[in-house]
Structure 1
Amino acid sequence: MLPVVFIHGIRVSATMWGPVLARLDRPATAVDLPGHGTRRGEPFSMDAATSAVADAIDALGGRALVAGLSLGGYVGIAAAERFPGRVAGLMAMGCTSRSTAMAGIYRSVASVAARHPSRANRVSSSVLRRLLPGAAGAAMVAGGLSCEVLPQAVEAVTGHDQLAALAAYPGRVWLVNGARDPFRVGERDFLRACRDGRLILIPCRGHLGVMRDPGPLARLVGDLCDQADRPVRAVATPSPR
């Protein structure tokens, strides 16, 4: 049974995946990236982040589906490029934008947040709980927030060529976006870059809203794991249910 390595979004931690992990019927783990969660204070770089993913895969037997959201999706793309033999399939969620305008906005916000991390963490916690009521929001903030790492993470993402990485990766890629996610803006370019890619849209969900219903998301992850272990001709892309 193919295991799963989950990668969290920016400034949060591995705990965000807790509700999904609890509903998944296969071996899985969620990794803390450098500068986040249990690794808060460590410098963030794409090399360090992808090495953390590779270590998590090795702990599960050396081959896994990699699933990441937002920053985690960008790190997943980089990990697939760097460690194609370990990444049996890639589920990249909410990470199909290379917009220079959006990157500029993120740089500005990251700079302010890093100068006032305690205040930024409090604001972020409130926003996350409001966007994701109940268990999903609680899981987002349970491992603590790390707004001080935002500038490093933004620079690492903007400095990496995701389209080239996807073109280099020989495995299956599922680009998963909420239908209302502004990060969808470049999804067709990302899809064209994949050697074996599929696009899945989750209706009525935004960037973080895809985490609102952990049960259907866990079932989707399980379906993709099954697909990753089948011959190419047997693959049929599921719809979230």
Structure 2
Amino acid sequence: MDRDPAQRPPVLLVHGIRTSRSMWRGQVEALTAAGVTALAIDLPAHGDRIGEPFSLDAAFAAIDDAIASLGGRVVLVGLSLGGYLSIEYAGRRPEKVALLVASSCFTVPKGVGLAGYRGLARAIRRLPDRGSWLNDTMARLAVGQAAATDIGAGGVALDAMDETLAAVGQTDPISSLARYDGPVWFVTGALDHFRLDQRRYRAARPEAPFIVVPRASHLVSLVAPEAFTRIVLDAVQAAPDDVAAEPSDDFPSEG
């Protein structure tokens, strides 16, 4: 039986690189309509905080403040950059995370891959418009015009990518997953390219469901917003005491 909305933990949503809390508009509206308290934040150097430096400490302070405003314990949902940060945060502050939903972050941010992304970020930043046209065009192609509007509504952090990637390279998602003793759900799109190390993630938390959204790509919450929202609602029902609950059968699970 579904728990009363007042008994459900609130949801905190952490966005991807260069975008902002506006990417979660659809989820916040749907969760609120379902009676679930939901909050999306801007990370340092993103959204309303464009111009600030990015660091892990500053990012975790933003998450700390948001969790405090929500009562001290949340279902923590992060995608891409937000997924890496949420995993690291849960490993450092497990008592504040009732359930962790980590999405689109299943390549360990180290080595040649990370160096390549940082090099690309520096090259894009040297373009005359600092990559604005390229970012907008790729967003429309990846998620469609409506979702691209949500991505850009809070501003695009064109200058933050390299320093943000450098900071993410300091995280250790595999060790953090091992340190966090609460329930974890992994979510990815079937077409996501950030799945190179998914076996290591699953080995770190073999009991965690690995939910694959069909036909969805890296930005799964924007490509398949209704599906992603249903997964989050399932997670809210599963946390914090009904931790053995499984996601609905609407999506294939490899866990």
The structure 2 residue matched to 1:80, chosen from 86, 90, 100, is 90
What is aligned with 1:28? 38
* Residues in 2 aligned to 1:66 and 1:215: alpha-carbon distance in whole angstroms: 18
Normalised by the length of structure 1, the TM-score is 0.93
The structure 1 residue matched to 2:115, chosen from 84, 98, 104, is 104
- In the TM superposition, 1:33-182 aligns within 5 A as 33-98=43-108, 100-116=111-127, 118-182=129-193
Compared CA separation, residues 239 and 100, structure 1 to 2 (3 A): farther
Compared CA separation, residues 239 and 34, structure 1 to 2 (3 A): farther
* Residues in 2 aligned to 1:33 and 1:159: alpha-carbon distance in whole angstroms: 17
CA displacement at 1:134 relative to structure 2: 3.6
What is aligned with 1:224? 235
SS at match of 2:19: coil
- In the TM superposition, 1:179-198 aligns within 5 A as 179-194=190-205, 196-198=207-209
Q: Deviations over 1:18-53 (max 9, x none)?
A: 011111121001010000000111111112112211
CA displacement at 1:92 relative to structure 2: 0.6
* Residues in 2 aligned to 1:176 and 1:127: alpha-carbon distance in whole angstroms: 22
Q: Is the 1:169–1:195 Cα contact (8 Å) retained in structure 2? A: no
* Residues in 2 aligned to 1:201 and 1:81: alpha-carbon distance in whole angstroms: 24
SS at match of 2:106: coil
* Residues in 2 aligned to 1:196 and 1:70: alpha-carbon distance in whole angstroms: 22
The amino acid across from 2:74 in the alignment is: A
Unaligned runs of 5+ in 1: none
SS at match of 1:88: strand
Compared CA separation, residues 213 and 179, structure 1 to 2 (3 A): closer
Compared CA separation, residues 3 and 117, structure 1 to 2 (3 A): farther
Compared CA separation, residues 240 and 15, structure 1 to 2 (3 A): farther
Q: Is the 2:130–2:159 Cα contact (8 Å) retained in structure 1? A: no
What is aligned with 2:226? 215
SS at match of 2:115: helix
Q: Deviations over 1:185-219 (max 9, x none)?
A: 11110121127522111111111244223222112
Q: Is the 1:36–1:146 Cα contact (8 Å) retained in structure 2? A: yes
Q: CA RMSD in A?
A: 1.7
Q: Is the 2:45–2:160 Cα contact (8 Å) retained in structure 1? A: yes
* Residues in 2 aligned to 1:157 and 1:88: alpha-carbon distance in whole angstroms: 23
The count of corresponding residues between Structure 1 and Structure 2 is 240
- Percentage identity across paired residues of the two chains: 38
SS at match of 2:30: coil
* Residues in 1 aligned to 2:218 and 2:122: alpha-carbon distance in whole angstroms: 22
Greater fraction helix = 1
With 26-35 and 180-189 compared, the bigger mean Cα shift is at 180-189
Normalised by the length of structure 2, the TM-score is 0.88
What is aligned with 2:3? none
With 194-203 and 41-50 compared, the bigger mean Cα shift is at 194-203
* Residues in 1 aligned to 2:155 and 2:246: alpha-carbon distance in whole angstroms: 38
